[in-house]
Chain A
């Protein structure tokens, strides 16, 4: 009997180890292939050039700028909305069938294929609101896409805070808003951040909804600068600019005739992976700093 249990134990350990090795190995292999094929293509010229029919002269600049700006719009719109919605659901909303319904819907939304969001955005933002195929449209679309993920993870983070903290705050005469803004949000910030970064990492690699709303492939200029020489010095014109993003540029290169563009595609892929890693790294660092500050 005892030997059987020990055997089971060993077997489970082996299975677990194999799964881990498979997951990490695949990732390592993919990353390694990208590095081997793409690393030597990444140089200053590649980062600062526009697309071209000559593989050696082609660059990633518009896609890089496009992806960055869209992520900016997505975070600025999606994160406050998502966090606020989650706080309301968790702290303010009374438990009725309506909130139950909202809860189920939000959880389901997190699993909806991204192309559906693209179709919704095409109808809503592009045609009804009339924003066209712009950076703003793309940012709003991806904001919608990350909203459910942000809401779900924020709620999880908030729920992890002991109820005693809130009760203590109320006992000292704090209002609900004071309790939420002084205690609940700061204490759950680390968890919220993890969710946000996971969501943004997903969004940066999205192609389907961006193609649906009309992203371009060849675009040899940058959006207008956000800072201008004339008052009011800040320009939001870049929000309405046409754009392309990294995954689309990558796909365009992969599907070209011949092999000249393969290393460009690999380099773009590598850059995309690095961008995601940097975002994740930043989040882990900030989370570490925040955890240290929380003292109950």
Chain B
């Protein structure tokens, strides 16, 4: 009976696997593995750096990068499961407490800028700039169902339906935009097209003359023909999102720094130390290549110094803040 023999083979194979289990459990994890997880916004940067770093080391050091999200990354980080956490926002109070409970100290290192871009369709002829006040009028929770036409924002704009596009509620982009515009994280009207996939937003905004939406700068930079960026007037003149304006500090309050958090324990391992050094020296070139905005040279210098001197902790104290220059974050006394 061949089928019976087949069945016996299956049972045997199952036994072999079950008996084989204890063997790998005894073996320790490979020492040359660097584990990174966290924000999907930071992912393209870390991926680029990891790719080059592995090439430079001829595959002797292995790097893995996941996209669990900023929150998911911190959770793993503070449990000691990963060496580095990618984050599009600073560490929050409860995450600090979890890290402290597990005895994990960390370096908070800014690595690049993102400029949240408010965009309209290229077919839109009337909008070139907006003030933060106007954005707030559109996006605050009280606007839900009330602010539905363009001419409610400025009277000389057309009497046309306002079609809104924005980030999904789980993303760091949503947290930051609502914090910067409305004044409170996660406080937003609910009647807009939300997507975690920013390419969906690009398509939605491009096709609709009456659309208005916000997305990370890289998505705008990659599709400049399909979107028209709106200049944002924070305190002074309206400013367009660009690497230059972000570095000058004039694109406010929508420019945000991105971070990596490195565990102090892991940084003692030479390969993790090398990787972070590499990130802060070679990173800027790669960052421009993946269409993000590098920090000023001075800020990278400060970050390198902080890492070398072993200054652990966060410059934020568990509260989200908007519009802070990176240099100021780095000069604050860090908290654990």
Q: Chain A: residues with CB nearer than 8 A to chain B? A: 51-53, 73, 76-77, 79-81, 130-132, 136, 181-182, 185-186, 189, 211, 214-221, 236-237, 239-240, 242, 252, 254-260, 290, 293
Nearest-Cβ distance from residue B266 to partner chain A, whole angstroms = 16
Do B24 and A136 have beta carbons less than 8 Å apart? yes
> What residues of A have a CB within 8 angstroms of the CB of B289 in the complex?
53
Looking at B48, B67, B196, B289, the one whose CB has the most chain A CB atoms below 10 A away is B67
Does B109 sit within 8 A of A, measured CB to CB?
Answer: no
> What residues of A have a CB within 8 angstroms of the CB of B64 in the complex?
216, 218-219, 242
| B98-125 Cβ-contact flags toward A at 8 Å (1 or 0) | 0000000000000000000000000000
> What residues of A have a CB within 8 angstroms of the CB of B37 in the complex?
214, 216
Do B7 and A52 have beta carbons less than 8 Å apart? no
Do B63 and A257 have beta carbons less than 8 Å apart? no
> Which of B130-138, B217-225, B241-249 is found at the contact surface with chain A?
B217-225
> What residues of B have a CB within 8 angstroms of the CB of A76 in the complex?
10, 13-14, 17
> What residues of B have a CB within 8 angstroms of the CB of A218 in the complex?
43, 46-47, 50-51, 63-66
CA distance A185 to B63 in the complex (A): 47
Q: Which residue of B lies closest to A62 (CB)?
A: B64
Do A236 and B24 have beta carbons less than 8 Å apart? yes
Identify 7 residue pairs between A and B in the complex whose beta-carbon atoms are under 8 Å apart, listed by A's number: A80-B10, A181-B7, A218-B63, A220-B62, A240-B24, A255-B196, A255-B198
Do A220 and B54 have beta carbons less than 8 Å apart? yes
- 7 tightest A-B CB contacts, nearest first: A258-B222, A218-B65, A257-B218, A257-B222, A186-B3, A53-B48, A80-B14
Partner of A77, one of B14, B27, B33: B14
| B21-56 Cβ-contact flags toward A at 8 Å (1 or 0) | 101110101000101010010011011101100100
Does B290 sit within 8 A of A, measured CB to CB?
Answer: yes
CA distance A160 to B47 in the complex (A): 53
Q: Which residue of A lies closest to B40 (CB)?
A: A255
CA distance A237 to B7 in the complex (A): 26
> What residues of B have a CB within 8 angstroms of the CB of A136 in the complex?
21, 24
Do A215 and B66 have beta carbons less than 8 Å apart? yes
Q: Chain B: residues with CB nearer than 8 A to chain A? A: 1, 3-4, 7, 10-11, 13-14, 17, 20-21, 23-25, 27, 29, 33, 35, 37, 40, 43-44, 46-48, 50-51, 54, 59, 62-68, 76, 81, 196-199, 216, 218-219, 221-223, 286, 289-291
Do A217 and B66 have beta carbons less than 8 Å apart? yes
CA distance A189 to B6 in the complex (A): 10
Partner of B3, one of A130, A185, A260: A185
> What residues of B have a CB within 8 angstroms of the CB of A240 in the complex?
24-25, 27, 29
> What residues of A have a CB within 8 angstroms of the CB of B81 in the complex?
214
Nearest-Cβ distance from residue A231 to partner chain B, whole angstroms = 13
- Asked if A185 meets B4 with Cβ closer than 8 Å, knowing A216-B65, A252-B67, A254-B199, the reply is yes
- Asked if A239 meets B63 with Cβ closer than 8 Å, knowing A77-B14, A256-B44, the reply is no
Nearest-Cβ distance from residue A214 to partner chain B, whole angstroms = 7
Looking at A136, A181, A252, A255, the one whose CB has the most chain B CB atoms below 10 A away is A255
> What residues of A have a CB within 8 angstroms of the CB of B291 in the complex?
257-258
Nearest-Cβ distance from residue A70 to partner chain B, whole angstroms = 13
> What residues of A have a CB within 8 angstroms of the CB of B17 in the complex?
73, 76-77
The B interface is mostly helix, strand or loop, or mixed, namely: helix
CA distance A131 to B29 in the complex (A): 11
CA distance A258 to B196 in the complex (A): 15
Beyond A236-B21, A252-B43, list 20 extra A-B contacts (CB 8 Å): A52-B51, A53-B47, A53-B286, A53-B290, A76-B10, A136-B21, A181-B7, A216-B37, A216-B64, A218-B43, A220-B63, A242-B33, A254-B197, A255-B198, A255-B199, A256-B199, A257-B222, A258-B218, A258-B219, A259-B223
Nearest-Cβ distance from residue A73 to partner chain B, whole angstroms = 7
CA distance A242 to B190 in the complex (A): 39
> What residues of B have a CB within 8 angstroms of the CB of A186 in the complex?
1, 3-4
Q: Which residue of A lies closest to B17 (CB)?
A: A76
Do B24 and A53 have beta carbons less than 8 Å apart? no
> What residues of A have a CB within 8 angstroms of the CB of B21 in the complex?
136, 236, 239
Looking at B1, B37, B47, B223, the one whose CB has the most chain A CB atoms below 10 A away is B47
CA distance A86 to B160 in the complex (A): 62
CA distance A180 to B134 in the complex (A): 75
CA distance A293 to B223 in the complex (A): 60
Looking at A51, A52, A53, A242, the one whose CB has the most chain B CB atoms below 10 A away is A53
Nearest-Cβ distance from residue A132 to partner chain B, whole angstroms = 8
CA distance A219 to B29 in the complex (A): 16
Looking at B27, B59, B65, B289, the one whose CB has the most chain A CB atoms below 10 A away is B65
Nearest-Cβ distance from residue B214 to partner chain A, whole angstroms = 14
> What residues of B have a CB within 8 angstroms of the CB of A236 in the complex?
20-21, 23-24
Do B3 and A189 have beta carbons less than 8 Å apart? yes
Do B51 and A220 have beta carbons less than 8 Å apart? yes
- Asked if A257 meets B44 with Cβ closer than 8 Å, knowing A53-B289, A220-B50, the reply is yes
> What residues of A have a CB within 8 angstroms of the CB of B223 in the complex?
257-259
> What residues of A have a CB within 8 angstroms of the CB of B13 in the complex?
76, 80
CA distance A136 to B64 in the complex (A): 17
Do A257 and B219 have beta carbons less than 8 Å apart? yes
> What residues of A have a CB within 8 angstroms of the CB of B14 in the complex?
76-77, 80-81
Q: Which residue of B lies closest to A53 (CB)?
A: B48
